[in-house]
Chain A
């Protein structure tokens, strides 16, 4: 009700709004063509820049070198956390990848070899069978089989061992924070912006402080991964608990449940399905981080991808990258199967092929047989090199063939788009006076959400100008904006097609999963070979990564169009085309816009990666700060990226919300 009122409110935009709007546009046009009249309005003067980055760097120095908590220093605290986390991590690593030494002496000979590959495959296959059935078992076995067959096993196990530690930790921390936020609304208010920052500040920005505080190595990489991957779990927990029907909670209260009992016996079981969505997100985001984590010492598959591509072994890089994808798909499907598994009632228990105890027994037997056996038949322990296959030459040759035969055509397309679309947008954004841009953002904010959004938009854009990163931010907006535009032009039609055709839908789902989990570096290098270093190559990589939500939300939006509306329009004699254009699309539009919103978020998170192919935007600032170990510079540029993301997110969400209200759809 409240929201609807808000909407009516905004619908009547006061006449002074348009007056101001006209004045600003006129002033903008004037300044655009007469840049010398008031240069301080066109380009943010250097003297006005607030030296925030140095303040942050100094503060960080103080935190690391001097901050004393009484009995110990802050650095000692973080180092002991790192030391604590090192234990489970190295245990998992020994179990899966390197073997145990059982000796305090580092580097002592291996006493117990790591879990044999054959046992790991059997156990994961059985788990899949146990949770869901034959289909999933085949899929999971296939995914792990790929790792062995293509010689990715050892690295994959290093990666897996950090995932099996990072995910439960991230999930538990997210869960606890979520409960706290659910119980204390004040805490939630305080937590939400922090979560926004954690998700939108590029990870490169806080790698340096993480390295300072937690030391170089796998633990620091794991902590950075958790910072990035935990927020969805917190959000999902809050949401899931809020969605537990009030009646159930009241029933629990009446039955005299204590708060803890209520949580354990009623709220969590009811919310379990939604909670598993959060777990799933944590898994996927952790795997997204594999490459970046390997840059600061996580090793594993990420390292293989990077080192292959640095020697331009495109095929090797692709195979290692696909290993990450298959690992992600296997873990994703397993966690989904766990969420959807039949609840443990007597009835479903009997339908299941293995009981829990039988399953545990089989796992133990597998390990007990295969482990000693692998000592006598090493092929059971370590997948033999002679049985490995590779397709890397095929990929290398394919890229070479395209390069030699089609470069000129590709170059022509590229030049056209670059000169006629990308460059004009870039120049427009860079030349528009900063004062005008901020004013326009503020006015749009006002139109969408009155003073609250106006103030937000203004504050965040002024921040960007004040720290002296305006032009870098405009390049970011340009690159991201153009990419999102193309991603939408590709994604929405595919989504529309997929929504009405189940075969296209299945193909689209596979494509989405692959694009989202395949490390972008894998396709970044071939793209550079075909399109040269620069904005265009960066744009292609951003599109590839960010097109997925545009497709996914379009499918969802169209499928959610109420069936009775379609029926009604058909009864009125609409042709299928008319139904699509006049009914389905307009009603699905708010949902599609949420997809575009997600596309923007993903495009922004990708910009840091594109800095690796030479873009000169905020992503590059963050990257430079990383390589110079400049804490302040990195964080300031990272927060600027977050500012852009937050403004885009709030504006689009508000727009979509209003539109849904207008169409009478559930928000």
Chain B
């Protein structure tokens, strides 16, 4: 359905681009391939970028690809542009890839990734000390399930999105058991279920995401993250262990196939120029995921309303 719509819209738009705008001269008519992943924010940003590139006269194609596995394709030139690479989850993979010389860092998107332990607001009644992390141990019982009792239960992200939660629990002496969700779909399914019942829930949540809009809640406040805290055992509260602090917050970057820079210089310039913030994307995500609008409609509406924002991105010298 979604790709279907994408295709239909892209066809229609291309037709209009060809006939009304009298296509701008672009360096190459080969399609630029943008990767699609599995979260809505990324789909929206990718389609925004895609539509802007089409408007410049480029041909584009969307390709479903795994978040980390896509680097193989970006390095070989099978894929060209990936719109969201999060510092919190993809930094190592991206650095390793850029080091090969086959991919290129296309700069920050302007969005700020936050991920941390998160609880629904109604848990504050049962555990008044929150959001301070030191309150967690007093409420371990409240956050427990029959399998973990008397320890609390914390639902971590997928194993691949290494969050060092097992280490954090040990370093901070938290009375919690870390359970890993295999996918974020499973994770948010559990959250939705708990929220419907106003039941205790503590887990890993990231933003920009619809969950933080749909569900009222807060991030736990851990000791502030620093590189040293992760790397050096001596830094932080626990003198013997690393990871005795919260999770890093950070950039979300665009990354692309190196060869594309020579092939479509102006397109790559536009991708570099692309900038958006959490609030804007959060609003678009809500329109899609919670209000049930189509991604293409939401993207269209934004592009129409914000010409002044994005048209300067397309300027190329």
Which residues, 614 to 667 on A, are CB-close (under 8 Å) to B? 614-616, 620, 623-624, 626-629
Cβ of A253 under 8 Å from chain B: no
- Please judge, given known A-B contacts A106-B29, A614-B180, whether A296 and B197 are in contact too, CB under 8 Å: no
| Listed stretches B64-72, B225-233, B243-251, B265-273; interface member | B64-72
Q: Are A616 and B180 in contact (CB under 8 A)?
A: yes
Q: Are B69 and A623 in contact (CB under 8 A)?
A: no
Of A211, A294, A312, A532, the residue contacting B73 (CB under 8 A) is A211
Q: Closest CB-CB distance, B288 to chain A, in whole Å?
A: 8
Contact with A along B61-84 (1 / 0, CB 8 A): 101111111111100101100000
Cβ of A263 under 8 Å from chain B: no
Q: Are A310 and B18 in contact (CB under 8 A)?
A: no
* A415–B196 CA distance with the chains assembled, in angstroms: 21
For B68, list chain A residues within 8 Å (CB).
627-629
Q: Closest CB-CB distance, A11 to chain B, in whole Å?
A: 46
Q: Are B1 and A612 in contact (CB under 8 A)?
A: no
Q: Are B145 and A109 in contact (CB under 8 A)?
A: no
For B185, list chain A residues within 8 Å (CB).
309-310, 312, 525, 612
Q: Closest CB-CB distance, A486 to chain B, in whole Å?
A: 19
Contact with B along A512-548 (1 / 0, CB 8 A): 0000000000001110111011100000000000000
Q: Are B1 and A304 in contact (CB under 8 A)?
A: yes
For B66, list chain A residues within 8 Å (CB).
295-296, 626-627
Q: Closest CB-CB distance, B56 to chain A, in whole Å?
A: 13
Cβ of A606 under 8 Å from chain B: no
Q: Are B31 and A106 in contact (CB under 8 A)?
A: yes
* A420–B289 CA distance with the chains assembled, in angstroms: 40
Q: Are A303 and B147 in contact (CB under 8 A)?
A: no
Cβ of B30 under 8 Å from chain A: yes
Of B146, B181, B196, the residue contacting A533 (CB under 8 A) is B181
For A217, list chain B residues within 8 Å (CB).
63, 78
Q: Are B59 and A106 in contact (CB under 8 A)?
A: yes
Contact with B along A386-423 (1 / 0, CB 8 A): 00000000000000100110010001000100110000
- Please judge, given known A-B contacts A611-B182, A624-B159, whether A303 and B3 are in contact too, CB under 8 Å: yes
Cβ of A98 under 8 Å from chain B: yes
Q: Closest CB-CB distance, A623 to chain B, in whole Å?
A: 7
Of B2, B160, B197, the residue contacting A407 (CB under 8 A) is B197
Q: Are B73 and A530 in contact (CB under 8 A)?
A: no
Residue of A whose beta carbon sits closest to that of B188: A312
- Please judge, given known A-B contacts A312-B185, A620-B182, A626-B66, whether A303 and B155 are in contact too, CB under 8 Å: no
Which residues, 279 to 314 on A, are CB-close (under 8 Å) to B? 294-300, 303-304, 306-307, 309-312
Cβ of B308 under 8 Å from chain A: no
Cβ of B277 under 8 Å from chain A: no
For B64, list chain A residues within 8 Å (CB).
294-299, 303
Q: Are A296 and B65 in contact (CB under 8 A)?
A: yes
* A306–B66 CA distance with the chains assembled, in angstroms: 13
* A320–B40 CA distance with the chains assembled, in angstroms: 18
Q: Are A532 and B145 in contact (CB under 8 A)?
A: yes
Q: Are B79 and A216 in contact (CB under 8 A)?
A: yes
Contact with A along B1-45 (1 / 0, CB 8 A): 111100100110011001000000000011100000011100000
For B181, list chain A residues within 8 Å (CB).
533, 613-614
Q: Closest CB-CB distance, A92 to chain B, in whole Å?
A: 15
Q: Are B193 and A158 in contact (CB under 8 A)?
A: no
Residue of B whose beta carbon sits closest to that of A615: B182
Cβ of A97 under 8 Å from chain B: yes
Q: Is the interface of A mostly helix, strand, loop or mixed?
A: helix
Q: Are B186 and A613 in contact (CB under 8 A)?
A: yes
* A297–B38 CA distance with the chains assembled, in angstroms: 12
Q: Are B69 and A211 in contact (CB under 8 A)?
A: yes
Cβ of A590 under 8 Å from chain B: no
Cβ of A63 under 8 Å from chain B: no
Q: Are B186 and A107 in contact (CB under 8 A)?
A: no
Q: Are A613 and B182 in contact (CB under 8 A)?
A: yes
Cβ of B117 under 8 Å from chain A: no
* A155–B184 CA distance with the chains assembled, in angstroms: 24
Which residues, 133 to 150 on B, are CB-close (under 8 Å) to A? 145-147
Q: Are B160 and A628 in contact (CB under 8 A)?
A: yes
Q: Are B186 and A528 in contact (CB under 8 A)?
A: yes
Per the CB 8 Å criterion, the residue count for chain B at the interface is 60
* A118–B36 CA distance with the chains assembled, in angstroms: 32
Cβ of A154 under 8 Å from chain B: yes
Which residues, 41 to 84 on A, are CB-close (under 8 Å) to B? none
Cβ of A359 under 8 Å from chain B: no
Q: Are A404 and B182 in contact (CB under 8 A)?
A: no
Q: Are B40 and A407 in contact (CB under 8 A)?
A: no
Of A98, A106, A407, the residue contacting B30 (CB under 8 A) is A106
Q: Are B4 and A624 in contact (CB under 8 A)?
A: no
* A616–B166 CA distance with the chains assembled, in angstroms: 14
- Please judge, given known A-B contacts A154-B4, A294-B64, A614-B180, whether A208 and B69 are in contact too, CB under 8 Å: yes
Q: Are A297 and B155 in contact (CB under 8 A)?
A: no
For A612, list chain B residues within 8 Å (CB).
182-183, 185-186
Q: Are B186 and A624 in contact (CB under 8 A)?
A: no
* A312–B65 CA distance with the chains assembled, in angstroms: 21
Cβ of A212 under 8 Å from chain B: yes
Cβ of B305 under 8 Å from chain A: no
Q: Are B193 and A530 in contact (CB under 8 A)?
A: yes
Which residues, 117 to 176 on A, are CB-close (under 8 Å) to B? 151-152, 154-155, 158
Residue of A whose beta carbon sits closest to that of B31: A106
Cβ of A110 under 8 Å from chain B: yes
Q: Closest CB-CB distance, A311 to chain B, in whole Å?
A: 5
* A624–B3 CA distance with the chains assembled, in angstroms: 27
Contact with B along A88-120 (1 / 0, CB 8 A): 000000000110000001111110000000000
Cβ of B190 under 8 Å from chain A: yes
Q: Are B3 and A299 in contact (CB under 8 A)?
A: yes
Cβ of B189 under 8 Å from chain A: yes
Q: Are A407 and B147 in contact (CB under 8 A)?
A: no
Q: Are A107 and B182 in contact (CB under 8 A)?
A: no
Cβ of A372 under 8 Å from chain B: no
Cβ of A215 under 8 Å from chain B: yes
Please indicate which of the listed interface residues B30, B79, B160 has the most CB atoms of chain A within 10 Å of its own CB. Answer: B160
Cβ of B192 under 8 Å from chain A: yes
For B78, list chain A residues within 8 Å (CB).
215-217
* A205–B300 CA distance with the chains assembled, in angstroms: 39
Q: Closest CB-CB distance, A106 to chain B, in whole Å?
A: 5
* A108–B210 CA distance with the chains assembled, in angstroms: 36
- Please judge, given known A-B contacts A98-B7, A158-B4, A216-B78, whether A533 and B61 are in contact too, CB under 8 Å: no
- Please judge, given known A-B contacts A310-B38, A312-B189, whether A106 and B1 are in contact too, CB under 8 Å: no
- Please judge, given known A-B contacts A612-B185, A624-B159, whether A307 and B59 are in contact too, CB under 8 Å: no
For B199, list chain A residues within 8 Å (CB).
407
For B15, list chain A residues within 8 Å (CB).
109
Please indicate which of the listed interface residues A310, A611, A623 has the most CB atoms of chain B within 10 Å of its own CB. Answer: A310
> Which residues of A approach B to under 8 Å, CB–CB?
97-98, 105-110, 151-152, 154-155, 158, 208, 211-212, 215-217, 294-300, 303-304, 306-307, 309-312, 320, 400, 403-404, 407, 411, 415, 418-419, 524-526, 528-530, 532-534, 610-616, 620, 623-624, 626-629
The 4 A-B residue pairs whose C-beta atoms are closest, nearest first, are A529-B193, A154-B4, A612-B182, A614-B182
* 15 other A-B residue contacts (CB within 8 Å) besides A216-B79, A620-B159, A626-B66: A106-B61, A107-B14, A211-B69, A212-B76, A215-B73, A216-B70, A216-B78, A303-B64, A304-B1, A311-B210, A407-B193, A407-B199, A525-B185, A610-B182, A627-B66
